Amino acid sequence: MSEVDEFDYIRRRLAPLSAGVLGADRLRNDGAFLVLPPDHELAMTADTLIEGRHFPEGENPALVARKALRVNLSDLAAMGATPRYYMSSVIWPEVGRDERIEGFADGLAEDQARYGVHLIGGDTTVSPGCWSIAITALGLVPAGEGVRRSGGAPGDLLAVTGTIGDAWLGLQARLGQLDARPGYDVEHFIRRFTLPDPRHTLAEAVRKQAHAAIDISDGLLADLRHLATESECGARVELEQVPLSEATRAWMSEQNDPETAIRSLTTGGDDYELVLAIPEDALPAFTQACGNRGVPVTVIGHLEEPAQGMQVMLNGRKLKPDQWGFTHF
Amino acid sequence: MSEVDEFDYIRRRLAPLSAGVLGADRLRNDGAFLVLPPDHELAMTADTLIEGRHFPEGENPALVARKALRVNLSDLAAMGATPRYYMSSVIWPEVGRDERIEGFADGLAEDQARYGVHLIGGDTTVSPGCWSIAITALGLVPAGEGVRRSGGAPGDLLAVTGTIGDAWLGLQARLGQLDARPGYDVEHFIRRFTLPDPRHTLAEAVRKQAHAAIDISDGLLADLRHLATESECGARVELEQVPLSEATRAWMSEQNDPETAIRSLTTGGDDYELVLAIPEDALPAFTQACGNRGVPVTVIGHLEEPAQGMQVMLNGRKLKPDQWGFTHF
């Protein structure tokens, strides 16, 4: 793409995505100026998706844009922040760039309208390597009310939103390792993997009721362990309490080795649900607030004294910690 | 690198870089919370460096880290912003990652101390492709005083800081296309290419005296044209006025084709000097403020009415616009 085409693309497709944000100046600068409302803090997070690693090669570019945005909005939800802005730094591949740019802008446009966020700047480069999208997302929290991973305390209940494992099954389906069966809806799994639903509507409830929160990208057990570690707590989780969708339960019922199956579901990642440390007396209000927004909440364990370490239980039996997670690093 | 090593690296090398920023919570989260001082805006910018494209393959990783930070601080200087924070999203190559991570952290540590900025978060991933570093830098400006590319007006003088072209000669030297000669200092050129000096000390002067500003990454003429275009102005530049270092003048004196030589210097990029649109009556104060900080300022032209377009003059003759720039896209 020539320089003329690049600036044409920015003006024609990206600049409209900054409309209404005065400090983004129609993307005529590399950067932007942000004014915060009084008594608010800015919450910032950054997540990168790489083709062939975080999404399949040849993925529909609009879906890639939407997933790249959503995984960042998921982080903001865990911080209790209301999403407002994002910057996008894209490395386009030399081969296949032209087929991606329009769909990519379509996807950003669709989801930024859905979530009420605006593009405020970024950077584009080209590399012989693979396509990558680094999003920095920005949200607002009332001053002092932001939620961290490190705020949990022994005795807090560990709660999880939605259902776990659908995205991992979706990945298996995308890899051709899961056949469609009458008992479960493969399209549901694929949708959960391809296009997660960030829990942005829960930001206020997270701020009001949770001591600590994290979103599930690496896997339920890995991310729950991060929360416990950063909170300097032990944790006990009952795997049989982990909430599963009807489709996932149908898949589970066909597995010969249910222990391996539940471990796959709880270490697979890409769920983009929240794990929260909630004091017991705040749980009813949190559950109510989530229920009002159509999001189920399930208690799957609790934080303990640090000396207890991490205990992963299945039907009263303690599992070995030899495969609790998954890392992109 | 295993997950354990990744978290060890973050704790041991990166978390100390966030010391003193309460909202970064020792990098125990993916994100951070920022509180702005009263009556200030946040200035944000993002720039990505890719190995083999923006810096040579096999470059010293500490120098890569420092350049990645500095090119972003250069953007903030053009915005009139005082740098404060940065986030770093790094894609490590699968091969050669372990040799890079310690030097990279060393480089960040050295330059963040030099410039008074702090790491507040980010993201690390691994890819079979090449190494890339996406930095998002954040600075502060008093509310309403931020400087944009678009603020110029016809009649404004076009001024440039420092000297132009040294970095392009440094790139030629790194590519083995420039021999050391008694007349000039190749090490000076290489240093200017490898490790630019962002004009962060000029942020206040930029805010007080400039209508518009941009930093020179793509090339003097390309970036000056951006400023003129976004300001909806024409521009006239006298190439013989472009400030050259003593070493560059020595190189120039050996060139058979001085027109091609000056065009190379003014389109080569990587200078990380500032181009500014300054009203004539503000120039003395700006020059004085820059002089107090050891930075020379040179007037090389002025903005005109938009109908005049862009006129690049050399000794009173108008050059053709067939190669004014360079783009990474």
Same domain, B69 and B194: no
Strand ranges (E), B79-224: 82-93, 118-127, 132-142, 157-161, 212-215
CB B212 within 8 A of CB B133: no
**Cα four-point dihedral sign B75, B48, B325, B179:** positive
**8 Å CB contact between A77 and A199:** yes
Nearest CB neighbour to B329, from listed A29, A79, A124: A124
A 158-217 → B contacts, CB under 8 A: none
* SS3 track for B190-259: HHHHHCCCCCHHHHHHHHHHCCEEEECCCCHHHHHHHHHHHCCCEEEEEHHHCCCCHHHHHHHHCCCCHH
pLDDT at B180 over 80: no
Alpha-carbon span A218 to B58, nearest angstrom: 31
Number of Cβ pairs closer than 8 Å across A and B? Answer: 201
Residue corresponding to tokens 């032990």 = A234
The amino acid occupying position A113 is: A
A49-98 pLDDT tens trace = 999 999 999 999 999 999 999 999 999 999 999 999 999 999 999 888 99
Q: Do A50 and B127 touch (CB under 8 A)?
A: yes
- CB interface of A with B, residues 230-249, below 8 Å: 230
Q: B1 pLDDT exceeds 60?
A: no
Strand partners, A55: A51
pTM exceeds cut of 0.80: yes
Which tens digit of pLDDT belongs to each residue from B257-295?
A: 999 999 999 999 999 999 999 999 999 999 999 999 999
Please identify, among B94, B122, B142, the residue that sits at the C-terminal boundary of a domain: B142
DSSP string, A141-185: EETT---BGGG--TTPEEEEES-SSHHHHHHHHHTT----BTTB-
What average pLDDT does chain B have?
93
Work out the average pLDDT over A268-297: 97
Tell me, yes or no, whether A115 and A180 share the same domain.
Answer: no
**Which residues between 53 and 72 in chain A have a beta carbon less than 8 angstroms from any beta carbon of chain B?**
53-54
As for the ipTM of the complex, it is 0.91
Same domain, A301 and A164: yes
Pair (B159, B236) in one structural domain: yes
Does A121 contact B36 at a Cβ distance shorter than 8 Å?
A: no
- At residue A251 the predicted structure's pLDDT band, cuts being 50, 70 and 90, is very high
Q: What is the CATH number of the domain that holds A51?
A: 3.30.1330.10
A324 within some domain: no
Domain count, chain A: 2
The residue out of A78, A111, A142 marking a domain boundary is: A142
Q: Does a structural domain hold residue A197?
A: yes
- What was the pLDDT predicted at B327? 42
What pLDDT shows up at residue A324? 56
Interface test with B, best of A4, A6, A9, A33 (most B CBs within 10 A): A33
- Measured between CB atoms, does B91 come within 8 Å of chain A? yes
Verify that B22 and B129 share a domain, yes or no. Answer: yes
A279 and A263, same domain (yes or no):
yes
- Nearest one of A198, A204, A170 to A71, comparing CA atoms: A198
> Can you read off the two tokens belonging to residue A208?
């009001």
Read off the tokens for A252.
């589970």
What is the rounded average pLDDT of the residues B79-83?
97
| Structural domain boundaries, residue A155 | 149-318
Nearest residue, CB atoms, B48 vs list A47, A123, A143 = A123
Question: Is the same domain home to B244 and B307?
Answer: yes
Are B105 and B165 in the same domain? no
Q: pLDDT tens digits, residue range A153-170?
A: 999 999 999 999 999 999
Q: Are residues A206 and A154 in the same domain?
A: yes
- A22 and A163 in a single domain? The answer is no
Last residue of a domain, one of B100, B118, B142: B142
Q: Is A328 on the interface with B (CB under 8 A)?
A: yes
